[in-house]
């Protein structure tokens, strides 16, 4: 930023610097130069002093030299002709007997970012590469890279590249690492420095002599190397082993990244490395530096994606400290949600509960959302806490709780009874738009069970004129129409008033169009409206999975120890709940109607005796086709396929669901190469499981269902629906026989116990 | 690799700006400051991006220490580097604040010049850097009567002073060369940070200790130092040593330079300390504190539905000593009770009466928690002690060795 009187300052400085009295007094001269640099840092343009500064560079005072060089490097690109005047002094310094002076001059000469400089620096750099002082060699090696960046389009000098490659064997570790860096820059267009076997092994052997910065950089370079054989791979891994426990977080993280990268094909080795590094990683999460703490937490989050159980016992390390900044607290809460398990759930909830009354509104709301997320698995405990919070009658808390309720009911429909009870009479404390939307949604959806629902809506309609948010108005319309369908007597009047206002007086187009749509829909008949508005819902157990499956390490390993995890691609807790869900719900509702039509007809037609017979007689011969798991299928891909495909076959197995734990089931299916993607919880009704497998070139998707009221066969009995792409009846048969075998074995095993 | 490094004051003044690669605009500094001041609470502010430039910053001493990079660098490396830069600045300038950085900016430029070349970290070791750094630090000492009273004590270099002055460790390592020798001192600090949660029933719910042994060395040369820890010091759960009360930690890691050949049998750390501050050992202990937590609180909350006021107000306070103060901070919804001295084994009490508008029975749920911040000298929670500290060869003359213990509260929370 320019200061007032800047011209005056520059003039003063110029006068002082050219004053012979000042020039003879070493200290006074230096002080004026310091003032020049200070003005330069503050953003003042002092380039007009260049001439005087060039004069000042001819000195024996090394401090003064450094200051002048700093000045010249900054302004050289703007005063190239004057900068050339300084070159002579610099070149002379490059031949100074003192290596420090040589290095200093060479470094700064290479830093002059102006086009004509290369012809002057080439010779000093080349002689610098062979200098006997390592300090000069370090500078010269990077000088090669600087020279290349000044003339990027010229041909690469092969002799220089060879020289740099040979400097990889330099006794000085920094020269070695600098050569790597320089080669990387010079050869960028050809894919960077080549790490072949001799170089890789050389680097690995030198690793111990390097300081921690160089170590982490070399470890990153080694990512490029692929060992030829497993023996070599394990040799390298055992060499790297010590560095996993390095006290320096950068080295630890770089080593882990290399470990995960090298062991891509050995998941067990990766898991072992993650286990061994969990101590050091936890230590960074408790580091005195907040920023390092944050980096550690973000990386723990990555590890949790694959190994949620790894930090389960250390949950207390993720409790928020009193003085920690918000961004750390939010991360910690996200982690707490991830690592909840049966043993720690009570204490984690207790801790989260204490954040709900925090002074910071955002923190309190995030804590409430976090409890809601845990509530998908541990329903009752969380509902109790959330209901208790409503009693506080605090505006921001009530709003967050209602939003959380809405999301929770969507995932766990059975919690609706408790939610409806809690929602009664909390409408006064809601002021913000998000909270209002959530409350309206709940009223529309569960209005039947909430006795006061029409009166609450009436209150909203009465204050419609002062309502500013159009989304709230649209939500109000939807809720009112839905409630009208189940409680017509109470709602008719209210709905009429609402529609009249929205169509006649409302100025917002979206709201008016929505009101018109509902109006016309109601004109076409109540049954039609019911079909559209209260159509069947999609099954959330498909999208959000209780007991989220573990992602393979390789998905995130490549972004480990980069800026990615810190940049917040992971959505904050509050965002996921508040912003997305409304849209999600709407789009899901609309989608579901269509989906259901697609699903139901084949279910009926295909359940014929004929296929069952056919199947039972071929069941023995089905073994010839082997099932394989093949490449993993993501949940999104599975869901998409499941919705696209028709049911190829459906059958009641005549076996109830085995009483084993979900883990046992999953393990058992995995043994026979069936990958399970999602389960509902053990006590859920209806109980569902989704799985897939591959056989004979086709992909088989299957759903196990028990206790769904709309499918009479599924009561007390497992019903299997199979979809397939492409069609292959034989594969389905072998899949069925394997599945039946497993389930039979499991249930007989269960009954023995 | 790092494109630029800059240091900004909390008001956004440019204190240091160095461009290593000339690939980013100079206005990046103001872009950064705009971004960082526009942040709301929930964004992760350590890393920010503007176009293709990534800013990574740490806050230390009330200043922004920022590095910008165009590559997807290792966050650990950049953060550690900035922390190291701040630590070196502290070592060289004595203390870390806007004033010391302003006064020593030439020195910091010199440091940066030697530490980083073309965006690549060259070295950060004080041993190597001290050969290159020529500028001398300028220290600011505000005039204070306290200093005057100590003149005789330290100026005369009497041996009576058995307590290290608190300002002793905040002076530059490179004391003036002209002044003969400066003071030959070495400080070994055992610093523990305690994070504790105590439930409303007085049960200890969480207790974590993060500890470290720090050495701050002003000796010009020192070939080897031997630090003896408690002999019954044990790491991990399985290992138990001796018959006495064991001093146990869960995890422990050492600085690269520490030699551990005598650690297994005698619990001796050997190290050649370089000038400046170094962390020799870091350790953690979770949950099983060998001693009771240092402070306990006996809260009673009573409500009185009396007259109604419209503003939240602190009506009255009774404190047990006149040098204590208490104030109500409406913004944080907190009462701050400061206790200048808390003698060991003592019990202090305070009674606060607060009028709250529209009090309901549920409002009591919002009372608490109580958070304490404190500094406990001469005390470690793990019981880690330094048995001895030997320098070899024995330093001539006035070398002084100080061992200090201190426990800080990282987060000490008591629920009500």
DSSP A542-583: HHS-SSPPPPPHHHHHTTTTSSGGGGT-SPPHHHHHHHHHHH
Q: Which CATH number fits domain A6-232: 1.20.1290.10, 1.20.1260.10, 1.25.10.10, 1.10.4100.10?
A: 1.25.10.10
Indicate the pLDDT class of residue B177, thresholds 50, 70 and 90.
very low
Neighboring chain B residues of A568 at a CB cutoff of 8 Å: 43-44
Half-sphere exposure of A304 (CA within 13 A, CB side): 26
Q: How far apart are CA B294 and CA B298, in angstroms?
A: 14
Query: Which residues make up the CATH 3.30.310.10 domain(s) of chain A?
Result: 598-752
The CA–CA distances, whole Å, from B150 to A726, B167, B172, B402 equal 89, 11, 19, 19
Residue among A217, A279, A568 minimizing CB distance to B44: A568
pLDDT over 90 for what percent of chain B?
Answer: 17
Closest CA to A107 of B20, B107, B5, B6: B20
Inspect the interface and report whether the beta carbons of A38 and B105 lie closer than 8 Å. yes
Q: How far apart are CA A416 and CA B53, in angstroms?
A: 48
Residue among B42, B251, B413 minimizing CB distance to A326: B42
* DSSP structure class, residue B395: P
* DSSP structure class, residue B259: B
* DSSP structure class, residue A208: G
Neighboring chain B residues of A249 at a CB cutoff of 8 Å: 76, 80
Bond from prior residue into A644 cis (ω within 30 degrees of 0): no
Segment 527-586 of chain A within 8 Å of chain B by CB:
561-568, 572, 574
Inspect the interface and report whether the beta carbons of B13 and A359 lie closer than 8 Å. no
Burial track A176-194 (b if 16+ CB lie within 10 A, e otherwise): bbbbbbbbbbbbeeeeebe
**With contact defined as beta carbons under 8 Å apart, do A379 and A412 qualify?**
yes
Segments in chain A below pLDDT 50 = 1-2, 542, 544-546, 569-624, 751-753
A593 touching chain B per CB within 8 A = no
The pTM of the full predicted model, rounded to 2 decimals, is: 0.77
Q: pLDDT at position B69, please?
A: 93
Inspect the interface and report whether the beta carbons of B83 and A107 lie closer than 8 Å. no
Residue of B nearest to A176 (CA): B122
Residue with tokens 């993060």: B210
Bond from prior residue into B44 cis (ω within 30 degrees of 0): no
Angle at A438 between CA A436 and CA A442, to 5 degrees: 115
Angle at B30 between CA B29 and CA B35, to 5 degrees: 100
Q: How far apart are CA B72 and CA B67, in angstroms?
A: 13
* DSSP structure class, residue B285: E
Bond from prior residue into A624 cis (ω within 30 degrees of 0): no
Q: pLDDT at position A205, please?
A: 92
Inspect the interface and report whether the beta carbons of A295 and B75 lie closer than 8 Å. yes
**With contact defined as beta carbons under 8 Å apart, do A670 and A612 qualify?**
no
Query: Which residues make up the CATH 1.25.10.10 domain(s) of chain A?
Result: 6-232
Q: How many residue contacts between A and B have a Cβ separation below 8 Å? A: 226
The more confident residue out of B409 and A549 is: B409
**Token pair belonging to A117:** 């400089």
A254 touching chain B per CB within 8 A = yes
Residue of B nearest to A144 (CA): B118
Angle at B272 between CA B267 and CA B275, to 5 degrees: 130
Q: How far apart are CA A290 and CA A323, in angstroms?
A: 11
Burial track A394-429 (b if 16+ CB lie within 10 A, e otherwise): bebbbbbbbbbbbbbbbbbeebbebbbebbeebbeb
Q: How far apart are CA A248 and CA A265, in angstroms?
A: 28
A750 touching chain B per CB within 8 A = no
Question: Which segment of B75-79, B125-129, B302-306 scores lowest on mean pLDDT?
Answer: B302-306
**Model pLDDT for residues B223-277, shown as the tens digit of each residue:** 788 899 888 888 876 655 555 567 888 888 888 888 888 888 888 999 888 888 8
Q: How far apart are CA A394 and CA A400, in angstroms?
A: 10
**Interface predicted TM-score (ipTM) of this complex, two decimals:** 0.83
Distance from CA of A534 to the nearest CA of B (A): 37
Question: Which segment of A497-501, B329-333, B394-398 scores lowest on mean pLDDT?
Answer: B394-398
Neighboring chain B residues of A326 at a CB cutoff of 8 Å: 41-42
Residue among A145, A363, A566 minimizing CB distance to B46: A566
**With contact defined as beta carbons under 8 Å apart, do A215 and A200 qualify?**
no
Residue among B16, B80, B113 minimizing CB distance to A41: B16
Indicate the pLDDT class of residue B148, thresholds 50, 70 and 90.
very low
Which segments of A341-469 does DSSP mark as H helices, in order?
A: 345-355, 361-375, 379-390, 395-411, 416-423, 433-446, 453-462
Q: How far apart are CA A568 and CA A575, in angstroms?
A: 12
The more confident residue out of B149 and B390 is: B390
Confidence check: pLDDT of B170 > 50: yes
A188 touching chain B per CB within 8 A = no
Neighboring chain A residues of B105 at a CB cutoff of 8 Å: 37-38, 41
Distance from CA of B46 to the nearest CA of A (A): 6
Segment 356-385 of chain A within 8 Å of chain B by CB:
357, 359-360, 362-363, 366
Inspect the interface and report whether the beta carbons of A146 and B16 lie closer than 8 Å. no
Indicate the pLDDT class of residue B44, thresholds 50, 70 and 90.
low
Residue with tokens 């041993």: B127
To the nearest 10 degrees (0 to 180), the angle between helices A416-423 and A433-446 is 120
For residue B211, report the phi and psi dihedrals to the nearest 5 degrees: -125, 160
**Model pLDDT for residues A486-544, shown as the tens digit of each residue:** 888 888 888 999 999 998 888 888 999 999 999 999 998 888 888 888 777 665 554 54
Inspect the interface and report whether the beta carbons of B83 and A289 lie closer than 8 Å. yes
**Model pLDDT for residues B18-40, shown as the tens digit of each residue:** 999 888 887 889 899 988 888 76
A598-752 is classed in which CATH architecture?
2-Layer Sandwich (3.30)
Q: pLDDT at position B42, please?
A: 54
Instruction: Give chain B's count of helices (H) and strands (E).
Output: 7, 23
Residue among A63, A289, A388 minimizing CB distance to B58: A289
Mutating which of B104, B120, B259 best tests the A interface, going by the most A Cβ atoms within 10 A? B120
Three state DSSP letters for A650-664: EEECCCCCCCCCHHH
The CA–CA distances, whole Å, from B209 to A283, A316, B373 equal 11, 12, 15
């Amino acid at each position: 930023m320019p200061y007032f009187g800047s011209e005056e300052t520059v003039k003063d400085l110029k006068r002082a610097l050219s004053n012979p009295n000042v020039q003879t007094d070493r200290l006074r001269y230096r002080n004026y130069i310091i003032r020049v640099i200070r003005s330069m840092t503050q953003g003042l343009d002092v380039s007009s002093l260049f001439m005087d500064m060039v004069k000042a560079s001819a000195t024996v005072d090394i401090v003064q030299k450094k200051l002048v060089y700093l000045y010249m490097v900054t302004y050289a690109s703007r005063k190239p002709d004057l900068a050339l005047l300084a070159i002579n002094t610099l070149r002379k310094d490059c031949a100074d007997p003192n290596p420090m002076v040589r290095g200093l001059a060479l470094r700064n000469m290479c830093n002059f970012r102006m086009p004509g400089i290369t012809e002057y620096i080439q010779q000093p750099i080349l002689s610098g590469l062979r200098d006997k002082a390592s300090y000069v060699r370090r500078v010269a090696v990077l000088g090669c890279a600087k020279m290349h960046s000044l003339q990027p389009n010229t041909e690469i000098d092969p002799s220089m590249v060879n020289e740099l490659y040979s400097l990889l064997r330099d006794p000085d570790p920094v020269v070695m690492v600098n050569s790597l860096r320089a080669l990387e820059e010079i050869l960028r267009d050809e894919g960077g420095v080549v790490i072949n076997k001799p170089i890789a092994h050389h680097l690995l052997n030198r690793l111990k002599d390097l300081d921690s910065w160089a170590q982490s950089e070399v470890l990153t370079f080694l990512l490029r190397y692929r060992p030829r054989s497993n023996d070599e791979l394990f040799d390298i891994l055992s060499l790297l082993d010590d560095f996993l426990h390095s006290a320096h977080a950068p080295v630890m993280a770089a080593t882990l990244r290399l470990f995960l990268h090298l062991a891509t094909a050995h998941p067990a080795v990766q898991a072992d490395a993650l286990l061994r590094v969990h101590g050091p990683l936890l230590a960074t999460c408790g580091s005195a530096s907040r920023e390092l703490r944050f980096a550690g937490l973000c990386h723990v989050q990555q590890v949790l994606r694959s190994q949620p159980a790894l930090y389960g016992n250390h949950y207390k390390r993720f409790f928020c400290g009193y003085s920690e900044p918000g961004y750390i607290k939010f991360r910690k809460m996200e982690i707490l949600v991830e690592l909840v398990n049966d043993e720690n759930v009570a204490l984690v909830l207790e801790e989260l509960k204490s954040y709900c009354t925090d002074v910071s509104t955002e923190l309190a709301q995030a804590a409430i959302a976090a409890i809601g997320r845990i509530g998908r698995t541990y329903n009752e405990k969380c509902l109790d806490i959330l209901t208790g919070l409503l009693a506080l009658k605090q505006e921001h808390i009530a709003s967050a709780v209602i939003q959380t309720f809405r999301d929770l009911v969507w995932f766990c429909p059975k919690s609706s009874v408790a939610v409806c009870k809690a929602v009664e009479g909390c409408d006064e404390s809601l002021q913000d738009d998000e909270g209002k939307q959530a409350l309206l949604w709940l009223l529309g959806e569960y209005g039947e069970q909430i006795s006061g629902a029409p009166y609450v809506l009436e209150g909203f309609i009465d204050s419609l004129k002062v309502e500013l948010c159009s989304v709230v108005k649209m939500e109000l319309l939807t809720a009112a129409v839905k409630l009208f369908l189940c409680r017509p007597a109470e709602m008719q009047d209210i709905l009429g008033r609402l529609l009249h206002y929205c169509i006649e007086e409302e100025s917002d187009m979206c709201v008016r169009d929505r009101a018109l749509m509902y109006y016309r829909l109601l004109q076409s008949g109540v049954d039609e409206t019911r079909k559209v508005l209260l159509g069947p819902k999609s099954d959330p157990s498909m999208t959000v999975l209780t007991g989220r499956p573990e992602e393979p390490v390789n998905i995130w390993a490549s972004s480990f120890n980069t800026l990615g995890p810190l940049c917040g691609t992971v959505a904050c807790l509050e965002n996921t709940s508040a912003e997305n869900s409304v849209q999600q719900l709407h789009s899901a509702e609309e989608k579901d109607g269509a989906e259901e039509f697609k699903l139901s007809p084949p279910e009926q037609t295909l359940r014929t005796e004929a296929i069952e017979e056919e199947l039972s007689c071929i069941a023995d011969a089905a073994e010839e086709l082997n099932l394989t798991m093949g490449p993993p299928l993501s949940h999104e891909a599975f869901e998409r396929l499941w919705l696209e495909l028709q049911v190829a076959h459906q059958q009641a197995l005549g076996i109830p669901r085995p009483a084993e734990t979900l883990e046992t089931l999953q393990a058992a299916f995995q043994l026979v190469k069936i990958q399970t993607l999602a389960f509902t919880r053990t006590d859920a009704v209806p109980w569902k499981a989704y799985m897939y497998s591959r056989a004979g070139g086709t992909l088989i998707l299957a759903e196990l269902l028990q206790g769904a009221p709309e499918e009479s066969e599924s009561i007390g009995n497992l019903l299997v629906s199979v979809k397939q792409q492409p069609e292959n009846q034989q594969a389905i048969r072998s899949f069925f026989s394997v599945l039946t075998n497993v389930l039979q074995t499991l249930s007989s095993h269960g009954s023995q116990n | 690799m790092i494109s630029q490094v800059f240091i900004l004051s909390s008001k956004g003044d440019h204190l240091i700006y160095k461009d290593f690669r000339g690939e980013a605009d100079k206005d990046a500094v103001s872009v950064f400051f705009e971004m960082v001041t526009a942040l709301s609470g929930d964004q992760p502010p350590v890393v920010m991006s503007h176009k293709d430039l990534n800013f990574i910053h740490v806050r230390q001493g009330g200043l922004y220490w920022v590095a910008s990079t165009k590559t997807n660098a290792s966050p650990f490396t950049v953060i550690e580097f900035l922390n190291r830069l701040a630590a070196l600045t502290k070592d060289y300038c004595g203390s870390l604040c806007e004033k010391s950085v302003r006064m020593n900016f030439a020195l910091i430029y010199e440091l940066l010049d030697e530490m980083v070349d073309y965006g690549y970290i060259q070295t950060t070791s004080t041993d190597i850097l001290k050969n290159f750094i020529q500028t001398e630090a300028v220290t600011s000492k505000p005039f204070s009567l306290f200093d005057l009273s100590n003149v005789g004590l330290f100026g005369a270099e009497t041996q009576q002073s058995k307590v290290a002055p608190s300002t002793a460790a905040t002076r530059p390592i490179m004391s003036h060369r002209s002044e003969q020798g400066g003071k030959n001192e070495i400080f070994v600090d055992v610093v523990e940070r305690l994070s504790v949660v105590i439930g409303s029933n007085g049960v200890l719910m969480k207790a974590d200790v993060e500890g470290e042994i720090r050495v701050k060395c002003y000796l010009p040369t020192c070939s080897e130092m031997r630090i003896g820890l408690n002999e019954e010091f044990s790491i991990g759960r399985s290992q138990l040593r001796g018959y006495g009360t064991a001093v146990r930690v869960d995890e422990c890691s050492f600085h690269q330079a520490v030699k551990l050949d005598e650690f297994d049998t005698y619990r001796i750390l050997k190290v050649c300390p370089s000038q400046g501050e170094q962390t020799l050992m870091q350790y953690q202990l979770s949950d099983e504190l060998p001693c009771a937590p240092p402070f306990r609180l006996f809260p009673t909350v009573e409500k009185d539905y009396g007259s109604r006021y419209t503003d939240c107000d602190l009506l009255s306070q009774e404190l047990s000593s006149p040098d204590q103060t208490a104030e109500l901070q409406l913004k944080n919804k907190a009462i701050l009770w400061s206790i200048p001295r808390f003698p060991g084994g003592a019990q202090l009490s305070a009674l606060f009466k607060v009028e709250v508008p529209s009090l309901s029975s549920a409002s009591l749920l919002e009372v608490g928690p109580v958070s304490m911040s404190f500094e406990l000298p001469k005390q470690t929670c793990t019981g880690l002690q330094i048995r001895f500290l030997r320098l070899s060869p024995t330093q001539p003359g006035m070398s002084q060795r100080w061992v200090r213990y201190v426990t800080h509260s990282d987060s000490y929370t008591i629920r009500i």
